[in-house]
Structure 1
Amino acid sequence: MVPNPSGAPERPPSIAPMLAVPGPLPVPDTGWAFEAKWDGVRCVLSTTGDGTVRLTSRAGNDVTATYPELRGLGRALRGRGVVLDGEIVVLDASGRSDFGLLQSRMGVADARRAALLARSCPVHFMIFDVMFLDGRTLLAAPYAERREILSALGPAGAHWSAPSYVHGNGTQVWQAVVREGLEGVVAKRLSSRYTPGARSAHWRKTKRVETLDVVIGGWTQRRGAPAGVPGAVLVGVAEPAGLRYAGSVGSGMSEREQSELTAYFAVIARPTSPFAGQVDVAGAHWVEPRLVAEVTASEWTRAGRLRHPVWQRLRPDLTRLD
Protein backbone atom coordinates (compact mmCIF):
# COMPACT_ATOMS: atom_id res chain seq x y z
CA MET A 1 0.00 0.00 0.00
CA VAL A 2 1.25 3.51 -0.80
CA PRO A 3 2.61 5.26 2.32
CA ASN A 4 0.48 8.07 3.73
CA PRO A 5 2.44 11.18 4.85
CA SER A 6 0.03 11.66 7.75
CA GLY A 7 0.99 8.26 9.16
CA ALA A 8 -2.59 6.99 9.01
CA PRO A 9 -3.34 3.96 6.84
CA GLU A 10 -4.69 4.67 3.37
CA ARG A 11 -8.40 4.00 3.03
CA PRO A 12 -9.23 1.76 0.04
CA PRO A 13 -11.44 3.35 -2.61
CA SER A 14 -15.20 3.28 -2.38
CA ILE A 15 -16.47 0.77 -4.99
CA ALA A 16 -20.13 0.23 -5.79
CA PRO A 17 -21.14 -3.42 -6.32
CA MET A 18 -21.47 -4.82 -9.83
CA LEU A 19 -25.00 -6.05 -10.58
CA ALA A 20 -26.36 -9.05 -12.49
CA VAL A 21 -29.19 -9.14 -15.02
CA PRO A 22 -32.02 -11.67 -14.64
CA GLY A 23 -32.12 -14.38 -17.27
CA PRO A 24 -31.87 -18.08 -18.07
CA LEU A 25 -28.74 -20.16 -17.58
CA PRO A 26 -26.22 -19.43 -20.37
CA VAL A 27 -25.86 -22.02 -23.13
CA PRO A 28 -23.18 -23.02 -23.97
CA ASP A 29 -21.73 -22.66 -20.49
CA THR A 30 -18.05 -23.50 -20.99
CA GLY A 31 -16.90 -19.89 -20.51
CA TRP A 32 -18.97 -19.31 -17.40
CA ALA A 33 -18.60 -19.77 -13.65
CA PHE A 34 -21.63 -20.71 -11.55
CA GLU A 35 -22.21 -19.67 -7.95
CA ALA A 36 -25.08 -20.26 -5.56
CA LYS A 37 -27.31 -17.21 -5.12
CA TRP A 38 -27.61 -16.37 -1.42
CA ASP A 39 -30.75 -14.86 0.08
CA GLY A 40 -29.34 -11.94 2.04
CA VAL A 41 -28.19 -8.34 1.66
CA ARG A 42 -25.40 -7.25 -0.68
CA CYS A 43 -22.44 -5.63 1.04
CA VAL A 44 -18.99 -4.28 0.14
CA LEU A 45 -16.41 -4.70 2.88
CA SER A 46 -13.16 -2.72 2.91
CA THR A 47 -10.22 -3.01 5.28
CA THR A 48 -7.30 -0.64 5.86
CA GLY A 49 -3.72 -1.27 6.80
CA ASP A 50 -4.53 -1.15 10.52
CA GLY A 51 -7.26 -3.78 10.18
CA THR A 52 -10.17 -1.33 10.39
CA VAL A 53 -13.29 -2.63 8.63
CA ARG A 54 -15.99 -0.64 6.86
CA LEU A 55 -19.21 -2.20 5.56
CA THR A 56 -21.22 -0.45 2.86
CA SER A 57 -24.67 -1.50 1.67
CA ARG A 58 -25.68 -1.64 -1.98
CA ALA A 59 -27.38 1.75 -1.46
CA GLY A 60 -24.07 3.21 -0.24
CA ASN A 61 -24.97 3.36 3.47
CA ASP A 62 -22.42 2.62 6.19
CA VAL A 63 -23.67 -0.48 8.05
CA THR A 64 -20.48 -1.30 9.97
CA ALA A 65 -22.16 -0.86 13.37
CA THR A 66 -24.98 -3.23 12.41
CA TYR A 67 -22.76 -6.31 12.01
CA PRO A 68 -20.00 -6.12 14.67
CA GLU A 69 -19.05 -9.80 14.26
CA LEU A 70 -17.57 -8.98 10.84
CA ARG A 71 -14.96 -6.57 12.21
CA GLY A 72 -12.69 -9.50 12.94
CA LEU A 73 -12.19 -10.00 9.21
CA GLY A 74 -9.86 -7.00 9.18
CA ARG A 75 -7.58 -8.70 11.71
CA ALA A 76 -7.86 -12.01 9.86
CA LEU A 77 -6.58 -10.34 6.68
CA ARG A 78 -3.47 -9.28 8.59
CA GLY A 79 -4.03 -5.58 8.14
CA ARG A 80 -4.02 -5.62 4.34
CA GLY A 81 -5.93 -3.02 2.33
CA VAL A 82 -8.71 -4.96 0.62
CA VAL A 83 -12.14 -4.36 -0.91
CA LEU A 84 -14.41 -7.41 -0.97
CA ASP A 85 -17.84 -8.02 -2.48
CA GLY A 86 -20.31 -10.45 -0.95
CA GLU A 87 -23.66 -11.20 0.65
CA ILE A 88 -24.51 -10.96 4.33
CA VAL A 89 -26.78 -13.85 5.35
CA VAL A 90 -28.06 -15.66 8.40
CA LEU A 91 -27.82 -19.44 8.10
CA ASP A 92 -30.44 -21.75 9.52
CA ALA A 93 -29.76 -25.12 11.15
CA SER A 94 -29.48 -26.74 7.70
CA GLY A 95 -26.91 -24.22 6.47
CA ARG A 96 -29.37 -22.41 4.16
CA SER A 97 -29.65 -18.64 4.11
CA ASP A 98 -32.83 -17.46 5.85
CA PHE A 99 -33.92 -13.93 5.00
CA GLY A 100 -36.56 -13.96 7.72
CA LEU A 101 -33.85 -14.44 10.36
CA LEU A 102 -31.67 -11.78 8.75
CA GLN A 103 -34.44 -9.18 9.00
CA SER A 104 -33.99 -9.03 12.78
CA ARG A 105 -30.43 -7.80 12.19
CA MET A 106 -31.11 -5.22 9.51
CA GLY A 107 -31.22 -1.51 10.33
CA VAL A 108 -29.87 -1.89 13.89
CA ALA A 109 -27.62 1.09 14.67
CA ASP A 110 -27.43 0.83 18.47
CA ALA A 111 -24.06 -0.77 19.32
CA ARG A 112 -25.30 -2.60 22.43
CA ARG A 113 -28.31 -4.11 20.69
CA ALA A 114 -26.21 -5.05 17.65
CA ALA A 115 -23.72 -6.84 19.92
CA LEU A 116 -26.50 -8.81 21.63
CA LEU A 117 -27.99 -9.81 18.27
CA ALA A 118 -24.54 -10.83 16.99
CA ARG A 119 -24.51 -13.49 19.72
CA SER A 120 -28.12 -14.67 19.42
CA CYS A 121 -28.47 -14.42 15.61
CA PRO A 122 -25.00 -14.16 14.03
CA VAL A 123 -24.54 -13.30 10.37
CA HIS A 124 -22.17 -14.85 7.84
CA PHE A 125 -20.44 -12.92 5.04
CA MET A 126 -20.37 -14.93 1.80
CA ILE A 127 -17.46 -13.42 -0.15
CA PHE A 128 -17.46 -13.87 -3.92
CA ASP A 129 -15.17 -11.16 -5.31
CA VAL A 130 -12.18 -8.93 -4.59
CA MET A 131 -11.86 -5.54 -6.32
CA PHE A 132 -8.82 -3.96 -4.65
CA LEU A 133 -5.74 -5.31 -2.88
CA ASP A 134 -2.80 -3.52 -1.24
CA GLY A 135 -3.00 -0.33 -3.27
CA ARG A 136 -3.82 -2.01 -6.59
CA THR A 137 -7.20 -1.98 -8.31
CA LEU A 138 -8.38 -5.31 -9.70
CA LEU A 139 -11.37 -3.97 -11.64
CA ALA A 140 -9.84 -4.72 -15.04
CA ALA A 141 -8.72 -8.22 -14.09
CA PRO A 142 -10.93 -11.07 -15.36
CA TYR A 143 -13.26 -12.80 -12.94
CA ALA A 144 -11.18 -16.00 -12.96
CA GLU A 145 -8.06 -14.09 -11.91
CA ARG A 146 -9.89 -12.19 -9.19
CA ARG A 147 -11.20 -15.46 -7.78
CA GLU A 148 -7.67 -16.87 -7.68
CA ILE A 149 -6.54 -13.80 -5.73
CA LEU A 150 -9.50 -14.17 -3.37
CA SER A 151 -8.68 -17.83 -2.80
CA ALA A 152 -5.07 -16.93 -2.00
CA LEU A 153 -6.27 -14.48 0.64
CA GLY A 154 -7.91 -17.42 2.39
CA PRO A 155 -10.80 -15.59 4.06
CA ALA A 156 -12.32 -18.29 6.23
CA GLY A 157 -13.69 -17.87 9.73
CA ALA A 158 -16.69 -18.37 11.97
CA HIS A 159 -18.53 -15.44 10.34
CA TRP A 160 -17.11 -15.31 6.81
CA SER A 161 -16.07 -17.56 3.95
CA ALA A 162 -15.47 -17.55 0.20
CA PRO A 163 -17.67 -20.31 -1.30
CA SER A 164 -16.20 -21.87 -4.42
CA TYR A 165 -17.67 -21.66 -7.90
CA VAL A 166 -18.18 -24.31 -10.58
CA HIS A 167 -16.67 -23.90 -14.07
CA GLY A 168 -19.34 -24.86 -16.60
CA ASN A 169 -21.88 -27.59 -15.79
CA GLY A 170 -24.61 -25.00 -15.23
CA THR A 171 -27.42 -27.54 -15.45
CA GLN A 172 -25.89 -29.71 -12.74
CA VAL A 173 -25.40 -26.65 -10.51
CA TRP A 174 -29.01 -25.67 -11.06
CA GLN A 175 -30.22 -29.15 -10.15
CA ALA A 176 -28.18 -29.04 -6.94
CA VAL A 177 -29.60 -25.62 -6.04
CA VAL A 178 -33.17 -26.85 -6.54
CA ARG A 179 -32.43 -30.01 -4.56
CA GLU A 180 -30.99 -28.03 -1.65
CA GLY A 181 -33.72 -25.39 -1.69
CA LEU A 182 -31.36 -22.47 -2.35
CA GLU A 183 -32.52 -19.19 -3.91
CA GLY A 184 -30.93 -19.61 -7.32
CA VAL A 185 -27.75 -19.43 -9.41
CA VAL A 186 -25.53 -16.56 -10.52
CA ALA A 187 -23.56 -17.20 -13.72
CA LYS A 188 -20.47 -15.05 -14.38
CA ARG A 189 -18.26 -14.96 -17.44
CA LEU A 190 -14.77 -16.12 -16.53
CA SER A 191 -13.36 -13.29 -18.65
CA SER A 192 -15.57 -10.51 -17.22
CA ARG A 193 -14.06 -7.44 -15.63
CA TYR A 194 -15.67 -5.79 -12.59
CA THR A 195 -17.86 -2.82 -13.56
CA PRO A 196 -18.84 -0.91 -10.37
CA GLY A 197 -22.48 0.06 -10.04
CA ALA A 198 -23.39 -1.31 -13.47
CA ARG A 199 -25.84 -4.05 -14.33
CA SER A 200 -23.88 -6.24 -16.73
CA ALA A 201 -24.95 -9.07 -19.04
CA HIS A 202 -21.65 -10.75 -18.08
CA TRP A 203 -23.30 -11.58 -14.76
CA ARG A 204 -26.62 -13.41 -14.99
CA LYS A 205 -28.92 -14.42 -12.13
CA THR A 206 -31.48 -17.20 -12.39
CA LYS A 207 -33.85 -17.52 -9.45
CA ARG A 208 -35.66 -20.64 -8.39
CA VAL A 209 -39.41 -20.14 -8.10
CA GLU A 210 -42.28 -22.28 -6.94
CA THR A 211 -45.56 -22.45 -8.85
CA LEU A 212 -48.66 -23.11 -6.79
CA ASP A 213 -52.42 -22.72 -6.75
CA VAL A 214 -53.93 -20.38 -4.17
CA VAL A 215 -57.48 -19.41 -3.23
CA ILE A 216 -58.52 -15.76 -3.48
CA GLY A 217 -60.28 -14.57 -0.32
CA GLY A 218 -60.09 -10.82 -0.73
CA TRP A 219 -58.60 -7.87 -2.55
CA THR A 220 -57.39 -4.30 -2.14
CA GLN A 221 -58.25 -1.31 -4.30
CA ARG A 222 -55.90 -0.34 -7.12
CA ARG A 223 -54.56 3.14 -6.44
CA GLY A 224 -55.85 5.73 -8.89
CA ALA A 225 -58.35 3.34 -10.51
CA PRO A 226 -62.17 3.46 -10.35
CA ALA A 227 -63.75 1.94 -7.25
CA GLY A 228 -63.87 -1.84 -7.36
CA VAL A 229 -60.74 -2.40 -9.46
CA PRO A 230 -58.27 -4.63 -7.58
CA GLY A 231 -54.61 -3.73 -7.34
CA ALA A 232 -53.79 -6.89 -5.42
CA VAL A 233 -55.56 -10.04 -4.30
CA LEU A 234 -55.38 -11.59 -0.84
CA VAL A 235 -54.74 -15.30 -1.13
CA GLY A 236 -54.64 -18.38 1.03
CA VAL A 237 -54.11 -22.12 1.06
CA ALA A 238 -56.66 -24.66 2.24
CA GLU A 239 -55.72 -26.47 5.46
CA PRO A 240 -57.70 -28.65 7.88
CA ALA A 241 -58.24 -25.63 10.16
CA GLY A 242 -59.55 -23.54 7.28
CA LEU A 243 -58.20 -21.13 4.68
CA ARG A 244 -54.77 -19.93 5.88
CA TYR A 245 -53.76 -16.45 4.73
CA ALA A 246 -50.63 -16.61 2.55
CA GLY A 247 -50.14 -13.00 1.46
CA SER A 248 -51.01 -10.32 -1.06
CA VAL A 249 -50.33 -10.73 -4.80
CA GLY A 250 -50.42 -7.80 -7.23
CA SER A 251 -47.29 -8.00 -9.33
CA GLY A 252 -47.80 -9.49 -12.80
CA MET A 253 -51.52 -8.80 -13.11
CA SER A 254 -52.65 -7.26 -16.43
CA GLU A 255 -55.39 -4.66 -16.84
CA ARG A 256 -57.55 -7.25 -18.62
CA GLU A 257 -57.23 -9.60 -15.67
CA GLN A 258 -57.99 -6.79 -13.23
CA SER A 259 -61.14 -6.00 -15.20
CA GLU A 260 -62.16 -9.65 -15.20
CA LEU A 261 -61.63 -9.93 -11.46
CA THR A 262 -63.61 -6.73 -10.87
CA ALA A 263 -66.68 -8.39 -12.42
CA TYR A 264 -66.18 -11.60 -10.46
CA PHE A 265 -65.67 -9.82 -7.13
CA ALA A 266 -68.91 -7.88 -7.53
CA VAL A 267 -70.77 -11.22 -7.67
CA ILE A 268 -69.03 -13.06 -4.81
CA ALA A 269 -68.50 -10.19 -2.32
CA ARG A 270 -69.00 -10.97 1.36
CA PRO A 271 -68.87 -8.79 4.50
CA THR A 272 -66.38 -10.85 6.52
CA SER A 273 -63.01 -12.46 5.98
CA PRO A 274 -63.00 -16.08 4.77
CA PHE A 275 -59.54 -16.66 6.25
CA ALA A 276 -58.97 -18.62 9.45
CA GLY A 277 -57.37 -16.18 11.86
CA GLN A 278 -57.02 -12.43 11.69
CA VAL A 279 -55.70 -10.75 8.54
CA ASP A 280 -54.44 -7.23 9.14
CA VAL A 281 -54.56 -5.64 5.69
CA ALA A 282 -55.68 -2.03 5.46
CA GLY A 283 -58.60 -1.45 3.11
CA ALA A 284 -59.28 -5.15 2.54
CA HIS A 285 -62.45 -6.24 0.72
CA TRP A 286 -63.61 -9.84 1.19
CA VAL A 287 -64.98 -12.38 -1.28
CA GLU A 288 -66.25 -15.92 -1.14
CA PRO A 289 -63.28 -18.29 -1.57
CA ARG A 290 -64.33 -19.65 -4.95
CA LEU A 291 -61.61 -18.33 -7.25
CA VAL A 292 -58.31 -20.16 -7.66
CA ALA A 293 -55.22 -18.48 -9.07
CA GLU A 294 -51.82 -19.73 -10.13
CA VAL A 295 -48.89 -17.74 -8.70
CA THR A 296 -45.15 -18.09 -8.44
CA ALA A 297 -43.02 -17.26 -5.41
CA SER A 298 -39.40 -17.54 -4.41
CA GLU A 299 -40.15 -19.30 -1.12
CA TRP A 300 -42.30 -19.41 2.01
CA THR A 301 -41.34 -17.10 4.87
CA ARG A 302 -41.14 -18.34 8.45
CA ALA A 303 -44.48 -16.62 9.06
CA GLY A 304 -46.11 -18.75 6.35
CA ARG A 305 -46.31 -16.00 3.74
CA LEU A 306 -45.35 -16.14 0.09
CA ARG A 307 -42.11 -14.29 -0.62
CA HIS A 308 -41.99 -12.24 -3.85
CA PRO A 309 -45.29 -13.63 -5.18
CA VAL A 310 -46.15 -12.96 -8.84
CA TRP A 311 -49.57 -13.46 -10.44
CA GLN A 312 -49.63 -15.91 -13.34
CA ARG A 313 -53.28 -16.56 -14.22
CA LEU A 314 -56.74 -17.39 -12.99
CA ARG A 315 -57.46 -21.11 -12.95
CA PRO A 316 -60.98 -21.42 -14.48
CA ASP A 317 -60.65 -25.21 -14.36
CA LEU A 318 -60.48 -25.00 -10.56
CA THR A 319 -62.87 -22.08 -10.06
CA ARG A 320 -66.48 -22.31 -8.90
CA LEU A 321 -68.76 -19.32 -9.49
CA ASP A 322 -72.13 -21.03 -9.13
Structure 2
Amino acid sequence: MIPMNMLRYTFCLIWLLAVIDQNAAAELPAPVSAPNSTEYTITVVPFYTPEKIWSLYSPFIDFLKETTGMPWELKFYPNHDSLIDGLCSGKVSLALLGPVPLGRVIEKCSAEVLAVALGKDAKPFYHSVVVTSDQNILSLGDLKGKKFALFKGSTASHILPRKMLRDAGLQKSDLTLLFYESQDSIMNALLSHEVDAAGVKESLYKKFEKASIKVLRQSEVLPNFAFAAAPTLSNPTKKLFTEALFHLSPQTNEKDKQRVQAWDDEIKNGFIKPPPDFSASVQKILLISNEIMREDR
Protein backbone atom coordinates (compact mmCIF):
# COMPACT_ATOMS: atom_id res chain seq x y z
CA MET A 1 0.00 0.00 0.00
CA ILE A 2 1.28 3.49 -0.93
CA PRO A 3 1.61 5.79 2.11
CA MET A 4 -0.92 8.63 2.33
CA ASN A 5 1.75 11.33 2.37
CA MET A 6 3.23 9.92 -0.85
CA LEU A 7 -0.18 10.08 -2.55
CA ARG A 8 -0.62 13.68 -1.43
CA TYR A 9 2.86 14.55 -2.76
CA THR A 10 2.17 12.91 -6.13
CA PHE A 11 -1.20 14.67 -6.47
CA CYS A 12 0.35 18.08 -5.69
CA LEU A 13 3.13 17.51 -8.21
CA ILE A 14 0.69 16.59 -10.97
CA TRP A 15 -1.46 19.66 -10.18
CA LEU A 16 1.61 21.96 -10.20
CA LEU A 17 2.84 20.63 -13.54
CA ALA A 18 -0.61 21.12 -15.06
CA VAL A 19 -0.73 24.76 -13.90
CA ILE A 20 2.77 25.44 -15.27
CA ASP A 21 1.84 23.83 -18.61
CA GLN A 22 -1.34 25.95 -18.90
CA ASN A 23 0.53 29.17 -18.09
CA ALA A 24 3.25 28.36 -20.59
CA ALA A 25 0.67 27.71 -23.28
CA ALA A 26 -1.06 30.98 -22.50
CA GLU A 27 2.22 32.87 -22.90
CA LEU A 28 3.09 31.34 -26.28
CA PRO A 29 2.47 33.73 -29.22
CA ALA A 30 -0.27 32.80 -31.64
CA PRO A 31 1.07 31.00 -34.72
CA VAL A 32 1.75 33.34 -37.63
CA SER A 33 -0.44 32.59 -40.61
CA ALA A 34 1.39 31.82 -43.84
CA PRO A 35 0.78 34.46 -46.51
CA ASN A 36 -1.91 33.67 -49.05
CA SER A 37 -0.15 31.83 -51.86
CA THR A 38 -1.75 34.10 -54.48
CA GLU A 39 -1.64 37.41 -52.58
CA TYR A 40 1.61 38.51 -54.23
CA THR A 41 1.21 37.11 -57.73
CA ILE A 42 1.26 39.17 -60.92
CA THR A 43 0.50 38.25 -64.51
CA VAL A 44 0.90 40.04 -67.82
CA VAL A 45 -1.44 39.82 -70.80
CA PRO A 46 0.29 37.40 -73.23
CA PHE A 47 1.22 39.86 -75.96
CA TYR A 48 4.77 38.40 -76.00
CA THR A 49 6.11 34.87 -75.77
CA PRO A 50 6.44 33.53 -72.18
CA GLU A 51 10.24 33.73 -72.49
CA LYS A 52 10.13 37.40 -73.42
CA ILE A 53 7.63 38.21 -70.69
CA TRP A 54 9.92 36.51 -68.18
CA SER A 55 12.92 38.47 -69.43
CA LEU A 56 11.19 41.88 -69.39
CA TYR A 57 9.08 41.53 -66.25
CA SER A 58 11.39 39.66 -63.87
CA PRO A 59 13.30 42.91 -63.13
CA PHE A 60 9.95 44.53 -62.29
CA ILE A 61 9.13 41.69 -59.88
CA ASP A 62 12.58 42.09 -58.30
CA PHE A 63 11.85 45.79 -57.82
CA LEU A 64 8.58 44.99 -56.02
CA LYS A 65 10.31 42.44 -53.77
CA GLU A 66 13.02 44.93 -52.85
CA THR A 67 10.64 47.87 -52.36
CA THR A 68 7.86 46.12 -50.45
CA GLY A 69 9.70 43.25 -48.78
CA MET A 70 7.05 40.81 -50.01
CA PRO A 71 7.51 37.57 -52.03
CA TRP A 72 6.09 38.70 -55.39
CA GLU A 73 5.92 36.13 -58.18
CA LEU A 74 5.27 36.24 -61.92
CA LYS A 75 2.58 33.92 -63.25
CA PHE A 76 1.85 33.04 -66.87
CA TYR A 77 -1.41 32.43 -68.73
CA PRO A 78 -1.56 31.20 -72.35
CA ASN A 79 -4.43 33.42 -73.51
CA HIS A 80 -6.85 36.19 -72.56
CA ASP A 81 -9.67 33.90 -71.43
CA SER A 82 -7.58 31.90 -68.96
CA LEU A 83 -6.00 35.08 -67.60
CA ILE A 84 -9.38 36.74 -67.07
CA ASP A 85 -10.69 33.62 -65.30
CA GLY A 86 -7.55 33.51 -63.16
CA LEU A 87 -7.87 37.13 -62.05
CA CYS A 88 -11.61 37.01 -61.40
CA SER A 89 -11.30 33.78 -59.38
CA GLY A 90 -8.41 35.16 -57.32
CA LYS A 91 -5.86 32.64 -58.59
CA VAL A 92 -3.68 35.62 -59.44
CA SER A 93 -3.80 38.98 -57.65
CA LEU A 94 -2.81 41.57 -60.23
CA ALA A 95 -2.74 41.69 -64.02
CA LEU A 96 -1.26 44.12 -66.53
CA LEU A 97 -3.89 44.42 -69.25
CA GLY A 98 -4.65 46.27 -72.45
CA PRO A 99 -8.01 48.06 -72.73
CA VAL A 100 -10.07 45.14 -74.14
CA PRO A 101 -9.09 42.49 -71.56
CA LEU A 102 -9.25 45.24 -68.94
CA GLY A 103 -12.82 46.04 -69.96
CA ARG A 104 -13.67 42.34 -69.82
CA VAL A 105 -12.40 41.85 -66.24
CA ILE A 106 -14.25 44.98 -65.12
CA GLU A 107 -17.41 43.65 -66.76
CA LYS A 108 -16.99 40.09 -65.46
CA CYS A 109 -15.97 40.62 -61.84
CA SER A 110 -15.71 44.39 -61.17
CA ALA A 111 -11.91 44.22 -61.05
CA GLU A 112 -10.43 47.48 -59.79
CA VAL A 113 -8.02 49.50 -61.92
CA LEU A 114 -5.14 50.47 -59.63
CA ALA A 115 -2.49 52.06 -61.83
CA VAL A 116 -2.25 53.18 -65.47
CA ALA A 117 1.04 53.06 -67.36
CA LEU A 118 2.36 56.21 -68.99
CA GLY A 119 3.84 56.42 -72.48
CA LYS A 120 7.04 58.21 -73.45
CA ASP A 121 4.98 61.37 -73.79
CA ALA A 122 3.89 60.99 -70.13
CA LYS A 123 0.29 60.39 -71.21
CA PRO A 124 -1.87 57.33 -70.35
CA PHE A 125 -2.85 56.69 -73.97
CA TYR A 126 -1.40 55.01 -77.09
CA HIS A 127 -2.17 54.12 -80.74
CA SER A 128 -2.64 51.00 -82.85
CA VAL A 129 -1.23 51.04 -86.37
CA VAL A 130 -1.77 49.08 -89.58
CA VAL A 131 1.65 48.42 -91.12
CA THR A 132 3.07 46.75 -94.21
CA SER A 133 6.47 45.59 -95.44
CA ASP A 134 5.34 45.62 -99.08
CA GLN A 135 6.47 48.87 -100.67
CA ASN A 136 3.86 48.47 -103.42
CA ILE A 137 1.04 48.81 -100.90
CA LEU A 138 0.27 52.49 -100.45
CA SER A 139 -3.13 52.55 -98.71
CA LEU A 140 -5.61 50.35 -96.89
CA GLY A 141 -7.52 49.93 -100.15
CA ASP A 142 -4.49 48.15 -101.61
CA LEU A 143 -4.88 45.38 -99.02
CA LYS A 144 -7.84 43.78 -100.79
CA GLY A 145 -7.02 40.12 -101.44
CA LYS A 146 -3.87 40.32 -99.25
CA LYS A 147 -2.81 38.34 -96.16
CA PHE A 148 -3.33 40.29 -92.95
CA ALA A 149 -1.88 39.24 -89.56
CA LEU A 150 -3.75 39.68 -86.26
CA PHE A 151 -3.39 38.58 -82.62
CA LYS A 152 -6.86 37.43 -81.57
CA GLY A 153 -8.48 39.47 -78.81
CA SER A 154 -5.71 42.09 -78.68
CA THR A 155 -6.82 45.72 -78.66
CA ALA A 156 -3.92 47.00 -80.76
CA SER A 157 -3.43 43.91 -82.88
CA HIS A 158 -6.97 42.76 -83.62
CA ILE A 159 -9.84 45.01 -82.57
CA LEU A 160 -8.58 48.40 -83.76
CA PRO A 161 -6.92 47.12 -86.96
CA ARG A 162 -10.18 45.40 -87.92
CA LYS A 163 -12.07 48.61 -87.17
CA MET A 164 -9.65 50.63 -89.32
CA LEU A 165 -10.02 48.13 -92.17
CA ARG A 166 -13.80 48.18 -91.85
CA ASP A 167 -13.86 51.99 -91.79
CA ALA A 168 -11.88 51.90 -95.03
CA GLY A 169 -14.58 49.72 -96.63
CA LEU A 170 -12.76 46.38 -96.27
CA GLN A 171 -14.78 43.48 -94.86
CA LYS A 172 -13.20 40.32 -93.47
CA SER A 173 -14.10 38.49 -96.70
CA ASP A 174 -11.96 40.97 -98.65
CA LEU A 175 -8.73 39.75 -97.00
CA THR A 176 -7.16 36.54 -95.71
CA LEU A 177 -7.02 37.04 -91.95
CA LEU A 178 -4.27 35.05 -90.22
CA PHE A 179 -4.12 34.88 -86.41
CA TYR A 180 -0.78 34.60 -84.59
CA GLU A 181 0.10 33.82 -80.97
CA SER A 182 1.79 37.15 -80.16
CA GLN A 183 2.66 40.52 -81.65
CA ASP A 184 6.29 39.40 -81.85
CA SER A 185 5.18 36.51 -84.07
CA ILE A 186 3.29 38.97 -86.23
CA MET A 187 6.37 41.13 -86.73
CA ASN A 188 8.39 38.06 -87.68
CA ALA A 189 5.73 37.07 -90.22
CA LEU A 190 5.73 40.60 -91.63
CA LEU A 191 9.52 40.77 -91.92
CA SER A 192 9.69 37.33 -93.57
CA HIS A 193 6.84 38.32 -95.96
CA GLU A 194 4.56 35.52 -94.77
CA VAL A 195 1.91 38.23 -94.62
CA ASP A 196 1.43 41.48 -96.49
CA ALA A 197 0.25 43.67 -93.62
CA ALA A 198 -0.63 43.57 -89.93
CA GLY A 199 -2.01 45.45 -86.98
CA VAL A 200 0.28 46.11 -84.00
CA LYS A 201 0.85 48.53 -81.18
CA GLU A 202 2.61 51.70 -82.31
CA SER A 203 5.44 51.32 -79.80
CA LEU A 204 6.28 47.88 -81.25
CA TYR A 205 6.28 49.22 -84.80
CA LYS A 206 8.72 51.97 -83.80
CA LYS A 207 11.31 49.31 -82.94
CA PHE A 208 11.21 48.21 -86.60
CA GLU A 209 10.93 51.61 -88.30
CA LYS A 210 14.26 51.07 -90.06
CA ALA A 211 13.27 47.62 -91.37
CA SER A 212 11.34 48.91 -94.41
CA ILE A 213 8.03 48.76 -92.57
CA LYS A 214 5.63 51.65 -93.04
CA VAL A 215 2.39 52.79 -91.44
CA LEU A 216 -0.77 52.78 -93.53
CA ARG A 217 -3.18 54.01 -90.85
CA GLN A 218 -3.03 55.10 -87.20
CA SER A 219 -5.94 54.56 -84.82
CA GLU A 220 -7.66 56.96 -82.48
CA VAL A 221 -6.09 57.29 -79.03
CA LEU A 222 -6.55 54.24 -76.81
CA PRO A 223 -6.44 53.95 -73.02
CA ASN A 224 -3.02 52.62 -72.06
CA PHE A 225 -2.14 49.38 -70.31
CA ALA A 226 -3.12 49.25 -66.65
CA PHE A 227 -2.82 47.03 -63.59
CA ALA A 228 -6.12 45.58 -62.39
CA ALA A 229 -6.65 43.88 -59.03
CA ALA A 230 -8.55 40.68 -58.32
CA PRO A 231 -11.77 41.22 -56.30
CA THR A 232 -10.20 39.14 -53.50
CA LEU A 233 -7.04 41.23 -53.14
CA SER A 234 -6.68 42.88 -49.73
CA ASN A 235 -6.59 46.66 -49.37
CA PRO A 236 -3.18 46.62 -47.60
CA THR A 237 -1.64 44.78 -50.57
CA LYS A 238 -3.28 47.18 -53.04
CA LYS A 239 -1.80 50.10 -51.12
CA LEU A 240 1.64 48.47 -50.90
CA PHE A 241 1.65 47.84 -54.65
CA THR A 242 0.43 51.26 -55.79
CA GLU A 243 2.74 53.16 -53.43
CA ALA A 244 5.71 51.33 -54.90
CA LEU A 245 4.62 52.26 -58.44
CA PHE A 246 3.61 55.86 -57.79
CA HIS A 247 6.94 56.65 -56.11
CA LEU A 248 8.74 55.87 -59.37
CA SER A 249 9.63 58.89 -61.53
CA PRO A 250 11.75 57.49 -64.38
CA GLN A 251 11.15 60.50 -66.62
CA THR A 252 12.53 63.00 -64.11
CA ASN A 253 14.65 60.99 -61.68
CA GLU A 254 17.95 59.63 -63.01
CA LYS A 255 18.16 56.84 -60.42
CA ASP A 256 14.66 55.62 -61.32
CA LYS A 257 15.50 55.89 -65.02
CA GLN A 258 18.43 53.55 -64.53
CA ARG A 259 16.32 51.20 -62.43
CA VAL A 260 13.70 50.66 -65.16
CA GLN A 261 16.16 50.35 -68.06
CA ALA A 262 15.69 46.57 -68.42
CA TRP A 263 11.88 46.75 -68.03
CA ASP A 264 9.39 46.41 -70.85
CA ASP A 265 8.63 49.64 -72.70
CA GLU A 266 5.00 49.28 -71.58
CA ILE A 267 5.88 49.97 -67.94
CA LYS A 268 9.16 51.90 -67.95
CA ASN A 269 7.72 55.44 -68.09
CA GLY A 270 5.93 55.50 -64.74
CA PHE A 271 2.35 55.14 -63.54
CA ILE A 272 -0.55 57.31 -62.44
CA LYS A 273 -3.95 56.77 -60.86
CA PRO A 274 -6.68 56.16 -63.46
CA PRO A 275 -7.75 59.53 -64.94
CA PRO A 276 -11.47 60.47 -64.61
CA ASP A 277 -12.26 59.53 -68.23
CA PHE A 278 -10.20 56.34 -68.26
CA SER A 279 -12.97 53.83 -67.48
CA ALA A 280 -15.29 55.41 -70.06
CA SER A 281 -12.56 55.06 -72.70
CA VAL A 282 -12.08 51.39 -71.75
CA GLN A 283 -15.82 50.69 -72.02
CA LYS A 284 -15.96 52.38 -75.45
CA ILE A 285 -13.21 50.10 -76.75
CA LEU A 286 -14.93 47.07 -75.21
CA LEU A 287 -18.12 47.82 -77.16
CA ILE A 288 -16.13 47.98 -80.40
CA SER A 289 -14.40 44.74 -79.40
CA ASN A 290 -17.66 42.90 -78.79
CA GLU A 291 -18.87 43.88 -82.25
CA ILE A 292 -15.64 42.81 -84.01
CA MET A 293 -15.37 39.55 -82.05
CA ARG A 294 -18.90 38.59 -83.08
CA GLU A 295 -17.90 39.05 -86.71
CA ASP A 296 -14.65 37.10 -86.34
CA ARG A 297 -16.01 33.99 -84.61
TM-score by length of 1: 0.21
Larger RCO, structure (CA 8 Å, separation 6 or more): 2
Structure 1 or 2: more strand by fraction? 1
User: Rg larger in 1 or in 2?
Assistant: 2
More helix by share: 2
